[in-house]
Amino acid sequence: MLQEIDYPISVQFDFESGTFDPVKVRTDRCVSDLALMFADKKVVQEIINNGDRLVYEIWYHPFETSKSDMALGVTRILPGKVGAEYHMTKGHIHERDDQPEIYFCIQGEGYLLLQTLDGDFRAERWTPGTISHIPPMWAHRVVNTGNKMLIFVASYHLSAGHDYQPIEEKGFKKLVVETDGKVAFIDNPHW
């Protein structure tokens, strides 16, 4: 017998703004939420002291039914830097080791960083239309290196879970920074 949650749902996504309607949950991530991630702690503290600042938003719709838990997430990363480091997502790895994810870059430009617990590292260049598969067991973070909003759509399962701890502790092997007006990958001193 079908329950109410087992019926089809549609939302309307706007390609320009990267928003959709109706939205179930919206989460804001400010510089203070990424205090452990950005390398320049002095600049982080200054921004927080000056009232903090939005880095990105996640809009999502958990399409939970009585038998499944596929979810839609849209992330909007504002352009900008904290010190020399470009705006980015916190980065996480799935708790379950059999759960992948698909990311679809709609607008903007940047990089998808991927890393295993053993330290295998990859950076996928993103432009509008890049679709990336994040295999299980790879931590992932998106970095906005452009001068406009970076918007991407994610599809995953809620049961995958989000583990932020490995990234909070050591971060990714590379920091993505602006050097002489260009994008550069530099070694993360904590690795």
- Spatial distance between the Cα atoms of 44 and 36, rounded to a whole number of angstroms: 9
Cβ 47 to its own copies shortest distance, Å: 31
Show the CA angle centred on residue 156, arms to residues 154 and 162, nearest 5°: 100
114 binds its own copies (CB under 8 A): yes
What CA–CA distance (Å, rounded) separates 164 from 51?
25
In the list 23, 25, 102, 186, the residue contacting its own copies (rule: CB under 8 A) is 102
Q: Which stretch binds its own copies (CB under 8 A): 4-12, 25-33, 42-50, 78-86?
A: 4-12
Two structure tokens written together for 137: 């067991």
Q: Which is nearer to its own copies, 155 or 188 (CB)?
A: 155
Q: In the bound complex, what is the minimum distance in angstroms from residue 89's beta carbon to its own copies? A: 16
HEC per residue, 21-79: ECCCEEEEEEHHHHCCCCCCHHHHHHHHHCCCCEEEEEEEEEEECCCCEEEEEEEEECC
121 scored as a contact of its own copies (CB under 8 A): no
Separation CA 35–CA 168 (nearest Å) = 9
Q: Is 99 in the site for its own copies (CB under 8 A)?
A: yes
**Minimum distance from residue 33 beta carbon to its own copies (Å):** 25
Contact between 95 and its own copies (CB under 8 A)? no
The size of the interface with its own copies (CB under 8 A), counted in residues, is 48
Using the rule CB under 8 A, is 184 a contact of its own copies? no
Tokens of 22: 């109706």
Closest CA to 29 of 63, 51, 57: 57
User: Out of 41, 122, 162, 170, which residue is the one contacting its own copies (CB under 8 A)?
Assistant: 122
C-alpha to C-alpha distance for 128 and 105, rounded to whole angstroms? 5
Please identify which residue in 24, 33, 39, 65 interacts with its own copies, judged by CB under 8 A: 65
Min dist CB 112 to its own copies, Å, is: 8
Going edge to edge, which strands form the sheet with 139-144?
121-126, 110-115, 139-144
Residues forming the site for its own copies (CB under 8 A): 2, 5-15, 20, 61, 63, 65, 67-68, 70, 72, 97-102, 104, 112, 114, 116, 120, 122, 124, 126-138, 153, 155
